Structures are given as structure tokens and as C-alpha cells.
């Protein structure tokens, strides 16, 4: 019999009436002949209330006790929802994460799912029950309660849909689908008919709080189609599936991470192993680092900047300080700024279209917004701006890419209305991934691109419009730019801008760069005629903080220095000098051997 998993978020369960309404939605599906698993979140703002209560007691609650506390929110919801079902004359059983058998690792407050047993749920379903599962929680090897991280009920729902080989996974929430950006921030945001896993992964990890990003990792890995819709209406919502909404449009959405913080280590030794040392201590604390920018100075010293969520700033600073102490980094300076936000545009189409970076920088320049740092990957461009500029930056980018307009080739929602999972495929994926921890790192390829060269303009003025001017000129010279990285330069208010171009365009690019440097009074322009870009692709690569570390470690052991790095959820790219290309490729292939699937 077909199984449908339906997840209801906190707002959709905020009152007893809403719980009854949610129960009725599930019952309707059962009456249509499906077996139903409901996954529920804590009622309303209950998790926030519990977090606040803990803070009233102590600044540093132990993570184990936080999980003990926070998991109670979902336990209230499952019980009340089961009672609601009973009151409507329907058989239903509530289950906690532990009762289901959702086994996780022991990283309290951010635990990852290792396995889920399906026997009990399946038996209860076969006996005619609706099963009501507590979202967001599991149990570790010592039977301690764990939670999956804020918003984690989505992940419970998709993971259950995956292992139960459910026909569909429906996420009921307080918006009627996925929007081009948070509709609460921008009223002109548009609901999309469908969005690809890769785009949604990226948007979710860059701040689109509508879905927990790890739920999309499950969806992509196990090929689970997700429908996101409103718990208040019967509108079809948005689908998250393999293909994007439009093949024509370059950008599908924009996000802002309001509370971001920048950390910079200035003047550290530019030798293999420095970044490894710093980032492995941060990763050891399970802190996700983003926007890593490394700039090589002339004196054999380099500056490393990166961003972390503001809430993790103090833990990250502690890690960096201990890294500096353990390994004589000598003469370095540590600075940070917790008044910054990260604004990003995302789209699969970016990989094939030129001028997207240029348009991004132009829009910000026209609004006189200063860009502090830039990092790009194949499917996203992120800029770091002053927090006061963040919402306006989001607005101008949404505008610049006309995200409010439905693309002419938008996928037809009516055709998608009944997308269900392919049964044979579902069984095959589950069989293939059997025995592997469910949220284990998943790498599908390690590749080398040795067709590019690097150009760096050092000492650009740190003022609005600079990146726009540079990429205007580069685009006018018909050069397709791949990676772009703009550093933060704490010492003299100047920035370094690095980009990669095809090798046969290096001479043209250098001419452009030299002219610009002269015009703007920059220090120098440097280049590497042959660089190697090494890429590791897979699922959830940024949230698995160990990926960049593995890359750094294996290259450092081979004495190879990493010049640039950029990360996205589906790919981590590293640039090294071209002479190392084959050796670096071999190193990475070995380093990821055990997780290549």
C-alpha cells in the first residue's frame, strides 16, 4: 500500500484547533486509501520558549540537557495529535524518536541520523493506524535523547519518507510554498512551481529557513520528491525535485543570512598546513565555516578570512586562538566583525550563462552598497555586506534578476500535481545505501580542471562599485570568469580581487586588469598562467565540515599549497598551482576513496 508522509510545522500546530485541522488533513489522505505517517514539530513557539527558559538558568547549558529539554516540545505535539485522531474516531499511535528507532550520533543539538528502523511503524500502519512521529529527535548509542538542530523536523520527515519508500513527502507550513526569497522580507517574492534539489540545498543552507537543509540532502540522496504547501489551504504548493523550474533563467532565488560574523587571521605563514590546522580545530567543534578567502601576500605570509554564523562566533574565535597557540603562527593578527550579513543569489543556470556576477555587482553598486567579501561557486554568488545594508541588498538583487516574474518556460504545475515516487527506484536506492550511516558523507566525484589561469588585483580601493567596474571591463573583453574571490583586507582598507579565466584568455585578462589597476591606483596585478582546479562533488558538502579538512590534509601531506577554495552544498573547489595537478588529483582520490559512492 502507498505511504504518504505529512509533516506539520510549529505554526500549523499552534493551538488545539490547528492540531485538529492537521489531524483532519491526515485522515482525508488515509480515507483515500493511503497509509499515513504524520511528523510533527513542537507547538507554536514552544522550542523558542524552552531555549529561553534554559538561558534564564545558565548561559552555557550542557548540550545533552538541551536535547533532553527541547525534545519535550515534540512529545507534547505527538500525544495531542494522537488524541485529536482518537476524538475523530481514527486509530492512531504516537511515537517518540527513540520509540521509532531513529538512531543518531552523539553530537547533541546537531545530531546526524545514522539509521531508522521501519518495523514498528510498518506494523502499526498495517494494523490500520495513522502513525504520529515526533520530529527533530533521535537517540544515540547510550540511549541519550538527541536533537537534529533547529528546524530538524523537516529532516525527520524526509528521512522517514526515504526509508519507508513513501510515495510522497508533504511539508505543511505557514507559507504556501517555496518563494524566490523569504516573503516576510520581500513582498514581491514569487512562489515557484518547482525547484531543484541542488538549488534548494543551497538556498536552505544560505538562509532560506523554510526547509532544514539536511532534509534536502536526504531528498537528493534517496530521490524523494517533496511538496511544500500551506497547512491552511489545499493549493498545490511547490515541488522540490531533480529538475529546476526553468532552463532559461540563471538565478532562481536570493537569500540573506542576517546574523553572520567574519573572522580574519592576518599575516599567517603561507605554507601547506596552516589552513588545515585552523579549520580542523573549528570543524572539530562542528561549526560550519563559509566564505573562506585566502590571499597570498608578497612576503610569504597570507591573510585568511572566513565567515561563521554569528551565534558560533565565540566558539570559533576560541578555536582559532587555540590553533594559533598550538602552532606558532607568529606575528599574526586576529580580527572579527559581528555586524555583517551574507547575501546570496542561487541558480543552476548560472553555470552556463555569462554576466551573472557582473549583474550582481552592478545592482549592489547602483544601490551604493559596499561589498566586503565575495565568494562564488558554480551555482551561487555570495557577498558579505554591512548588516545595515543587508535587506536592501536582497531587494536590489531580487529586482536585478527579475525574480518576481514567472519564467516563460516555467514548469507546469498541473502536470506535476501528482508526482509520486517511483517504487522500484525507491527500493533500489534504499538497498544501495543499506548499511551506510544515513547522513554519512556522500561524494560522487573527484575531478580536475586544468584549463584555467588566475588573475589577482592587489590593493583595490574598498568602496562601492569596484567589483562592478572590474567585471564590466572583463565581460567587455569577452572573458568567461569562473571563480571570483574578493578578500577582506583589515590592514589598510584595501581589497584583493582574484578571478579565474580560461588559459587562452589570460593575456587579454591581464591587459584589462593592468589598465584597471593603473586607473584605480592599485598595488599590483599578479597571475598564475596555469592553475589546477580540483573539485569534490556530492551531497551536503558544506554541512559536513570535514570535507574541506580532508582536502587540506591530503594536499598538505603532499606538500601542496592551497591557493583558493570555494564551497557549496554540492561541490568544494580548490585551486593549486598547475604543476601539482596530477599529484593533487591522486591525493584527493585517495582521500575520498572510502566515501565515493
Interacting residue ranges for Mg ion, rule: CB under 5 A: 9, 151
- Give the per-residue contact string, 153-172, with ligand ASP (x = CB under 6 A; - = no): x-------------------
- Give the per-residue contact string, 125-144, with ligand ASP (x = CB under 6 A; - = no): ----------xx--------
Segment contacting ligand ADP by CB under 6 A, of 126-134, 180-188, 285-293, 509-517: 180-188
The least CB distance from residue 83 to Mg ion, in Å, is 23
The least CB distance from residue 500 to Mg ion, in Å, is 37
The least CB distance from residue 167 to ligand ADP, in Å, is 22
Residue 592 DSSP label: T
The least CB distance from residue 338 to ligand ADP, in Å, is 22
Determine if 41 is a binding residue for ligand ASP (CB under 6 A).
yes
> Which contacts (CB < 8 Å, 24+ apart) does range 586-594 have?
587/554, 587/555, 587/557, 587/558, 587/560, 588/446, 588/534, 588/536, 588/551, 588/554, 588/555, 589/446, 590/554, 591/550, 591/551, 591/553, 591/554, 592/443, 592/446, 592/536, 592/550
The least CB distance from residue 545 to ligand ADP, in Å, is 23
* Cα end-to-end distance, the chain, whole Å: 31
* Closest residue by beta carbon to Mg ion: 151
Residue 309 binds which one of ligand ASP, ligand ADP, Mg ion, none, with CB within 5 to 8 A depending on kind?
none
Residue 362 sits at φ, ψ, to 5 deg, of -60, -45
- Return the closest-CA partner of residue 215 out of 543, 551, 554, 513: 543
Q: Are 80 and 19 in contact (CB under 8 A)?
A: yes
Q: Are 283 and 545 in contact (CB under 8 A)?
A: yes
Task: Report CA-CA distances (Å) from 413 to 192, 195, 268, 383.
Answer: 9, 11, 53, 33
Map the footprint of ligand ADP across residues 70-99, applying CB under 6 A.
none
Determine if 245 is a binding residue for ligand ADP (CB under 6 A).
no
In this structure, the dihedral spanned by the alpha carbons of residues 569, 570, 574 and 575, taken in order and rounded to 10 degrees, is: -120
Identify the residue whose cell numbers are 505529512. 6
Q: Which is nearer to ligand ADP, 208 or 357 (CB)?
A: 208
Determine if 15 is a binding residue for ligand ADP (CB under 6 A).
no
The angle formed by the CA atoms of residues 317, 256 and 169, to the nearest 5 degrees, is 105
Q: Are 230 and 238 in contact (CB under 8 A)?
A: no
Q: Which is nearer to ligand ASP, 125 or 158 (CB)?
A: 158
Segment contacting ligand ADP by CB under 6 A, of 175-183, 308-316, 339-347, 372-380: 175-183
The least CB distance from residue 273 to ligand ASP, in Å, is 38
Segment contacting ligand ADP by CB under 6 A, of 168-176, 242-250, 319-327, 329-337: 168-176
The least CB distance from residue 593 to ligand ADP, in Å, is 37
Which strand (E) or helix (H) includes residue 589? helix 581-591
The least CB distance from residue 148 to ligand ASP, in Å, is 8
- Return the closest-CA partner of residue 446 out of 538, 562, 577, 549: 538
Euclidean distance between CA atoms 580 and 561, whole angstroms: 9
Segment contacting ligand ADP by CB under 6 A, of 6-14, 31-39, 333-341, 474-482: 6-14
Residue 47 binds which one of ligand ADP, Mg ion, ligand ASP, none, with CB within 5 to 8 A depending on kind?
ligand ASP
Longest dimension (CA), the chain: 79
Determine if 156 is a binding residue for ligand ADP (CB under 6 A).
no
Residues making contact with ligand ADP (CB under 6 A): 9-12, 41, 151, 173-175, 178-179, 181-184, 208-210
Residues making contact with ligand ASP (CB under 6 A): 9-10, 41-42, 47, 73, 135-136, 150-153
Amino acid at each position: 500500500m502507498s505511504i504518504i508522509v505529512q509533516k506539520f510545522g510549529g505554526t500549523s500546530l499552534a493551538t488545539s484547533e490547528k492540531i485538529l485541522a492537521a489531524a483532519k488533513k491526515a485522515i482525508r489522505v488515509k480515507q483515500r486509501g493511503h497509509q499515513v505517517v504524520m511528523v510533527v514539530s513542537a507547538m507554536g513557539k514552544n522550542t523558542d520558549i524552552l531555549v529561553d527558559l534554559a538561558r534564564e538558568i545558565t548561559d552555557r547549558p550542557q548540550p545533552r540537557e538541551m536535547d533532553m529539554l527541547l525534545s519535550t516540545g515534540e512529545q507534547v505535539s505527538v500525544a495531542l495529535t494522537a488524541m485529536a485522531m482518537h476524538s475523530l474516531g481514527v486509530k492512531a499511535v504516537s511515537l517518540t524518536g527513540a520509540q521509532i528507532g531513529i538512531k543518531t550520533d552523539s553530537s547533541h543539538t546537531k545530531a546526524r541520523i545514522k539509521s531508522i528502523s521501519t518495523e514498528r511503524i510498518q506494523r502499526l500502519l498495517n494494523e490500520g493506524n495513522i502513525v504520529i512521529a515526533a520530529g527533530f529527535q533521535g537517540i544515540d548509542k547510550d540511549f541519550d535523547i538527541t536533537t537534529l538542530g533547529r528546524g530538524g523536523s523537516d529532516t525527520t520527515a524526509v528521512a522517514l519518507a526515504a526509508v519507508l519508500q513513501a510515495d510522497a513527502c508533504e511539508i505543511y507550513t505557514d507559507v504556501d510554498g517555496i518563494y524566490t526569497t523569504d516573503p516576510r522580507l520581500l513582498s514581491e517574492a514569487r512562489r515557484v512551481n518547482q525547484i531543484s534539489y541542488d538549488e534548494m540545498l543551497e538556498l536552505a543552507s544560505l538562509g532560506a529557513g523554510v526547509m532544514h537543509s539536511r532534509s534536502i540532502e536526504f531528498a537528493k540522496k534517496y530521490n524523494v520528491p517533496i511538496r511544500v504547501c500551506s497547512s491552511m489551504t489545499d493549493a498545490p504548493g511547490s515541488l522540490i525535485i531533480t529538475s529546476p523550474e526553468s532552463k532559461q533563467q540563471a538565478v532562481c532565488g536570493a537569500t540573506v543570512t542576517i546574523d553572520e560574523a567574519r573572522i580574519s587571521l592576518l599575516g599567517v605563514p603561507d605554507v601547506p598546513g596552516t589552513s588545515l590546522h585552523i579549520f580542523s580545530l573549528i570543524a572539530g567543534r562542528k561549526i560550519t565555516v563559509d566564505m573562506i578567502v585566502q590571499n597570498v601576500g608578497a612576503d610569504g605570509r597570507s591573510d585568511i578570512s572566513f565567515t561563521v554564523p554569528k551565534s558560533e562566533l565565540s566558539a570559533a574565535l576560541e578555536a582559532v586562538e587555540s590553533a594559533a597557540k598550538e602552532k606558532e603562527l607568529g606575528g599574526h593578527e586576529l580580527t572579527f566583525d559581528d555586524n555583517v550579513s551574507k547575501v546570496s543569489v542561487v541558480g543552476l543556470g548560472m553555470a552556463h550563462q555569462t554576466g551573472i556576477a557582473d549583474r550582481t555587482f552592478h545592482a549592489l553598486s547602483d544601490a551604493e552598497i559596499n561589498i566586503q567579501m565575495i565568494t562564488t561557486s558554480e551555482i551561487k554568488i555570495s557577498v558579505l555586506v554591512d548588516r545595515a545594508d543587508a535587506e536592501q541588498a536582497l531587494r536590489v538583487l531580487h529586482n536585478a534578476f527579475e525574480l518576481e516574474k514567472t519564467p516563460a518556460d516555467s514548469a507546469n504545475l498541473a502536470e506535476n500535481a501528482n508526482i509520486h515516487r517511483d517504487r522500484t527506484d525507491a527500493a533500489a536506492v534504499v538497498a544501495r545505501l543499506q548499511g551506510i550511516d544515513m547522513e554519512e558523507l556522500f561524494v560522487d566525484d573527484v575531478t580536475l580542471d586544468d584549463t584555467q589561469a588566475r588573475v589577482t588585483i592587489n590593493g583595490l580601493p574598498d568602496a562601492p562599485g569596484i567589483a562592478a567596474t572590474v567585471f564590466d571591463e572583463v565581460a567587455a573583453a569577452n572573458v568567461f570568469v569562473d571563480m571570483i574571490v574578493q578578500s577582506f583586507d583589515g590592514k589598510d582598507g584595501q581589497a584583493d580581487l582574484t578571478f579565474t579565466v580560461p588559459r587562452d584568455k589570460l593575456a587579454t585578462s591581464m591587459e584589462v586588469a593592468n589598465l584597471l589597476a593603473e586607473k584605480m591606483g592599485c598595488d599590483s596585478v599578479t597571475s598564475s598562467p596555469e592553475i589546477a582546479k580540483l573539485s569534490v562533488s556530492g551531497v551536503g558538502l558544506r554541512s559536513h565540515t570535514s570535507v574541506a579538512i580532508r582536502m587540506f590534509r591530503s594536499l598538505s601531506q603532499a606538500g601542496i599549497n592551497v591557493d583558493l577554495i570555494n564551497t557549496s552544498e554540492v561541490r568544494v573547489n580548490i585551486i593549486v598551482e598547475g604543476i601539482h595537478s596530477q599529484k593533487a588529483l591522486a591525493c584527493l582520490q585517495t582521500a575520498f576513496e572510502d566515501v565515493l559512492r
